[in-house]
Structure 1
Amino acid sequence: MERVAAPGETTYSTSGFIRLTRPQLTGTLAGLALSLLLAALDQTIVGTAMPSIITQLLGFDRYPWVTTAYLLTSTVAVPIFAKLSDIYGRKWFFLAGAVVFVASSALCGAAGQMNFIPLDGMNQLIVFRGIQGLGAGIMFGLIFTIIGDVFSPAERGKYQGLFAAVWGVASIFGPTLGGWLTDHLSWRWAFYVNLPVGIIAIAAIYLEFPYFHPQGVRRIIDWMGVFTLTACLVPLLLALTWVTDYGWTSMRVEALLMVAAVMLGLFLLTEMKAAEPLLPLSLFRDSVITICSIANFVLGMGMFGVIIYLPLFMQGVLGVSATQSGSLLTPLMLAAVIGNIFGGQVTSRLGRYKALAIVGSILVAAGMIIFAGMDGATLQSRVVLGMVIAGIGMGLVQPVYTVAVQNSAPRQHMGTATASSQFFRSIGSTMGVAVFGSLFLTIYKRDFASSIPPGTPQVALEPFSNPLLLDQLRPQLEAAFGRYPDGPNLLHTLMGGVRASLVHGLQVIFVVGAVIMTAAVVVNVMLREIPLRGHRRAGSGPPAEPG
């Protein structure tokens, strides 16, 4: 029976390492949820606004860098600032990340209007997106760590699942919101919308989340570790981003991969000798942390690396419009949200996580197997079925890995361990996109080249280099080919070659993805289960250190 607080005693509503009163808990959760919502929305809203951005800022040749700059800085920031928060505390780093994110959002929205900066509008946007990614990486790396600080292991699953669901909801409504803002206001409001919500989140965390000074840690910054990790990740991510354009054997990709490999070796040597390593390699002696890291990497590579090709299948093979293709992804995200919430609740109630990890990985593999069996005659209902099954599986496993890692990690390495889980999933998805993209383009180009009738002029083939544009260009193509004898038949033959090449290329990557996710089931079976530690009694205790 819970003890009633005596008069004058502070009553706490959480039972983790950091104990919060009811108002502190409400303000902290509101601030964290809004921050996560902003970071998630930003990744989906901007994609919808990109055509308008490119048109106004005249930056078609540089548009991939708007995403690449954000990816580079956010990925690098996650492990570095997670470690710094283990040493110096979470609050001020989180607030700094939020302030950077909000301020850079304002700068992104004003890109091209600041004539005093010696860069054109597109380059301004790229620089500001890199700064924005830094803020987002800090926030995202600490949100789930703070949840681990506030709640006991037995309670974390519920909240980790709810916060993962926030990400899913943002992914569902982000594209629609981005389109509405772009059409009715301006693409600039895809960035300006972050300002009022971000300010509220900053105020909530500043006022209600207490500052706790970590005890029992050595306050030494591993600068060599920071340098070598950054020098490894930047060329690695650039190589993986460019590989679909230049190929694995291009000089720039090979050189970047070599630099990344050398710096990875130096990073590992540095971490073995550092007094307070950025990423303590001793963490991976714990089989739970090791298996969760591998499982996160495989999930990122096998599932997230394949998801981006579902719209291509629906548009290029099934012939649905771009608008329909976007809406067809909604079942996947809705199912993931349901899985997040359900999985979190089950984990908290049962105090165990392995069964959910196994069931979730089986469902993801089953969904991928459905995708692997799709062809030109597949009905849209089958695509939706595969997405629902895989989405539920994704939703079940995502919170599990964070909860399991936090349950096993030493208190002084909570931030680093949590960030490593997110970091490996991010690297896995980036690598999956690169590997599958390279594989798909190789098959598509080879198959389409073999289907071209002899004597076809090269100028007639130029529009077919990007199959996604063919639906939009179809009227112009029919008019152009109609001017020549037998032109309509040639166009029909080429369009048939495109569709057959798409089917083959997509089938191959779906099959490879299914194999990877089937192997992930074995990885999850190997996950050691440690019952989640029960919560401390929420009630009276020492007051929080003011912050």
Structure 2
Amino acid sequence: MDEDKHEISQVEHHDVHNLQHSITALAEQEDEPQTPYQLGWKTILALLTLSMANVCAALSNTTNTTIKFQVASVARSQADAALASWIANGNFLLTLAMGPVFGSLSDRLGKKWFLVCGALIGVVGSCISGSADKITHIIAGNVLTGIANAGCIVSISCIQEIMPNKLRPWAMGVSQAMASSFVVLGTFLAAAFVRADTGGAGGWRWAYYFNGIIYGVTAVAIAVTYFPPRPLLGRHHVLKEIISGVDYIGILTLSGSFASLIVGLTWGGSTYAWDSPQVIATLTCGCVGLVLFGLYEAFVVKEGILDHRLFSTVNFPILLFVCTIDGMLLLGVNVLYAQEIFDLFSQNAVRIAVILSPYLITSTFGCIPAGWIMASTRSYRGLLVGALFWCSLFTGLMSLVTSDRLTWAYAFSTLFGIGTAVTTTIPIVALALSVPSFLIGTAATISVSCRALGGIIGITIFTAIYNNQYAAYVGPELAALTANNLAPVVVAESQRAWHYVWIAVACLVAVNGVAACFLKGVKPMMNEHVESALESGKVREAQLS
């Protein structure tokens, strides 16, 4: 036992230099060819239930497709309507801020109860939003849902931990396909609930209630099917030692900086002017806080939120950038494309969902082939770079869509949906294979937080581009009335404004493709190592001892 403790201590405190900044060095530490591991029903069942937590985090965004209906139902004034952006951003903000915190703690304390408790909080948040009679109540429920999703996204690391490294792409493909399938279902259900509303109570409420049911089922399912060994970083430490080693300063600095930054981005151009003291102060505090956080993590602590061992290869920082820009594409487009459809084609909730469906369906069914290709070839860079430039091409072509070119919208959204299936699945797996496996929870949740940050920044930037262009065409007074649902959209001018939004999306995704060219391969890490064995046998016995 003393020898085991000594070995694990060496792994825990291994200096970044000793990792030699290479994937090969990581593979040499983690490969276990002498203890073959056989997958069984426990792992497959856990994969499905853990994927439901991933479903919860994705499904919560489907209610954003009905934001216009939510505002129309409960807004009492222009001031209420001006808070509409917080319906989506309240969720994103908490997921972004709390995700790395939960990830870091789960690598030390274990992941199961972060998932279960997160899903239970999701039940409460969904019920609050669904029963709300004020915009602020909907936002409050979504804030709780954001905390819930910060716990649920820990499942991304759990799914990869229970599988041999070489099968991680396949497992994540299955998980992401499940999540995307529920997004399609949730989008159509939300639309159907809105359309079925004849009493004026707000059919959108049932979209929240449906999400609450899924959160509840997920909490129970994980509680009874997922029994992992204690994580390596906490295996030979008592709770007091683990808690005393938590990077509290880093947690507070990061969370506060993100909160300040996102508040400023959300206020800018809507609640306050971009040059107002409130916006300038919050944005400045957020940026300064992030700089201080980076300096603190780089020079004061080695095993903080940004554990130095995460930077054992150049892949980690590059993939964080890739995930951030990809969040602008995935989350930004999910929210804004539904609004463009509302402006140009139809205000019927079901028809909006139908027009969205080609993009949603191709991005769903492309996840499993993307994972299969990476697992089979043990290569990912070419696939990822190609997918990003593919997305750049067809999001750029979306700028040609007008109100009488619906078939173009179907075609182009279908094609860039294929690309997003790759960008949804591959970066997460590549990131996990580029860091020590005992830090996968921290790495995965940081990457998801970067996606959320990208989504918030993307929504803010793209909305600002649209609003500025639309106001330039129709005048600021009519634009303000339109934004507050007090005047109809001028279709011809709206489609001209959306043109600039899609050009901005295409340029950002192209930059992402260039950044992905500098990634390194992870083939040596795609081995037999299993970080968290669920099946009975020598591997699990060793991890339990």
**Fold conserved between structures, TM > 0.5:** yes
In the alignment, which residue of structure 2 is the partner of 1:5? none
- 1:491 corresponds to: none
Do the aligned partners of 1:247 and 1:253 also contact (CA within 8 Å) in 2?
Answer: yes
Give the distance between the partners of 1:18 and 1:55, measured in 2 at CA: 58
Matched, 1:162 2:174: yes
Instruction: Specify which of 254, 264, 282 is matched with residue 239 of structure 1.
Output: 264
Between 128-137 and 194-203, the greater mean CA deviation after superposition:
194-203
* Correspondent of 2:293 among 264, 267, 280: 267
Deviation of the 1:407 alpha carbon:
0.8
Counterpart for residue 123 of structure 2: 102
Find 1:229's aligned residue among 254, 257, 260: 254
Q: SS where residue 249 of structure 1 aligns? A: coil
Contact 2:192-2:349 at 8 Å conserved across structures: no
Q: Following TM superposition, by how much is the alpha carbon of 1:394 offset from its aligned partner in structure 2, in angstroms?
A: 0.7
Aligned residue in 1 for 2:527: 534
Q: Does 1:249 align with 2:271?
A: no
Whether the 8 Å CA contact 2:302–2:308 is kept in 1: the answer is: no
Residue identity opposite 1:193 in structure 2: F
For 1:10-89, list aligned pairs within 5 A: 22-45=40-63, 47-48=65-66, 51=69, 55=73, 60-61=80-81, 62-89=83-110
User: Structure 2 CA distance, aligned partners of 1:18 and 1:507?
Assistant: 55
1:71–1:133 CA contact under 8 A, matched in 2? yes
Amino acid at match of 1:255: A
Cα distance between partner residues in 2 of 1:358 and 1:232: 31
Q: C-alpha deviations, 1:310-366, integer Å up to 9, x for none?
A: 345445456786643332111111111122121011111222211211221121112
Q: 1:199 to 1:55 in 2, by over 3 A?
A: closer
Is 1:178 equivalent to 2:204 in the alignment? no
SS of residue in 2 equivalent to 1:192: helix
- CA offset digits 1:62-102 (Å, max 9, x no partner): 44433333222222111110000111111122222122222
When residues 424 and 42 of structure 1 are mapped into structure 2, their CA distance, relative to the original with a 3 A threshold, is closer
Q: 2:451 aligns with which of 421, 425, 446?
A: 425
Q: 8 Å contact 2:230–2:544 — kept in the other structure?
A: no
In 1, the alpha carbon distance for the partners of 2:204 and 2:520 equals 48
Residue in structure 2 matched with residue 10 of structure 1 by the alignment: none
CA distance in 2, matches of 1:20, 1:521: 37
Aligned with 2:158 (options 123, 146, 153): 146
Q: 1:297 to 1:49 in 2, by over 3 A?
A: closer
Shift of 1:153: 2.2
8 A contact 1:247–1:438 mirrored in 2: no
Residue type of the alignment partner of 2:425: P
**Partners of 1:313 and 1:111 in 2: how far apart?**
26
The reply to whether residue 435 of structure 1 matches residue 428 of structure 2 is no
Per the alignment, residue 92 of structure 1 pairs with 113
Greater mean deviation of Cα atoms: 534-543 or 31-40: 534-543
Q: Which of 523, 531, 542 is equivalent to 2:515?
A: 523
Partner of 2:365 in structure 1? 338
Query: Sequence identity of aligned pairs in percent?
Result: 20
Moved more, 426-435 or 323-332: 323-332
1:234 counterpart letter in structure 2? A
Change (3 A) 1:129 1:439: closer
Pairing partner for 1:324 from 344, 348, 351: 351
Change (3 A) 1:463 1:18: farther
Deviation at 1:409, TM superposition (A): 0.5
State yes or no: 1:411 paired with 2:429: no
1:211 deviates by 3.6
1:465 equivalenced with 2:457 (yes/no): no
Task: Give the corresponding residue for 2:11.
Answer: none
Summarize the Cα distance change of 1:546–1:204 in structure 2 as closer, same or farther, 3 Å threshold.
Answer: farther
Residue identity in the other structure for 2:95: S
Residues 24, 517 of structure 1: alpha-carbon distance in 2 compared, 3 angstrom cutoff: same
CA 46–443 in structure 1, closer or farther in 2 if over 3 Å, else same: closer
Task: Report the equivalent of 2:500.
Answer: 508
The answer to whether the Cα contact below 8 Å between 2:165 and 2:529 also exists between their aligned partners in 1 is: no
**Residue-by-residue CA offset, 1:193-221 (whole Å, 9 max, x unaligned):** 34544343223322221142223467211
Matches within 5 A, 1:477-492: none
Unaligned runs of 5+ in 1: 1-13, 113-120, 451-460, 475-494
**Cα distance, 1:18–1:193 mapped onto 2, change above 3 Å:** farther
Q: Amino acid of the residue matched to residue 165 of structure 1?
A: A
Q: Which of these two proteins has the greater Rg computed from alpha carbons?
A: 1
Q: Is the 8 A contact 2:65 2:338 kept in 1?
A: no
Asked if 1:369 is matched to 2:402, the reply is no
Query: What is the aligned partner in structure 2 of residue 390 from structure 1?
Result: 416
CA distance in 1, matches of 2:37, 2:268: 48
Residues 535/300 of structure 1: CA separation in 2 closer, same or farther (3 Å cut): same
Task: Give 1:468 deviation, angstroms.
Answer: 9.4
AA at the equivalent of 1:152: P
Task: State whether residues 108 and 191 of structure 1, in contact with CA within 8 Å, keep that contact through their aligned partners in structure 2.
Answer: yes
In the alignment, structure 1 residue 402 sits paired with structure 2 residue 460:
no
| Alignment check: 8 A CA contact 1:153 1:403 kept | no
Distance 2:293 2:496 in 1: 41
SS at structure 1 position matched to 2:460 = helix
**Equivalent runs, 1:440-455 vs 2, <5 Å:** 440-449=466-475
Measure, in 1, the Cα distance between the counterparts of 2:38 and 2:158.
12
Q: CA RMSD in A?
A: 3.4
1:386 Cα deviation after fit = 1.2
What TM-score, normalized by structure 2, do the two folds share?
0.80
1:279-323 superposed Cα distances (whole Å, 9 cap, x missing partner): 225524521112211212222235643554434544545678664
Equivalents in 2 of 1:248, 1:57: separation in Å? 24
Say whether the 8 Å CA contact 2:379–2:522 is kept in structure 1.
Answer: yes
Q: Does 1:210 align with 2:222?
A: no
CA distance in 2, matches of 1:148, 1:204: 18
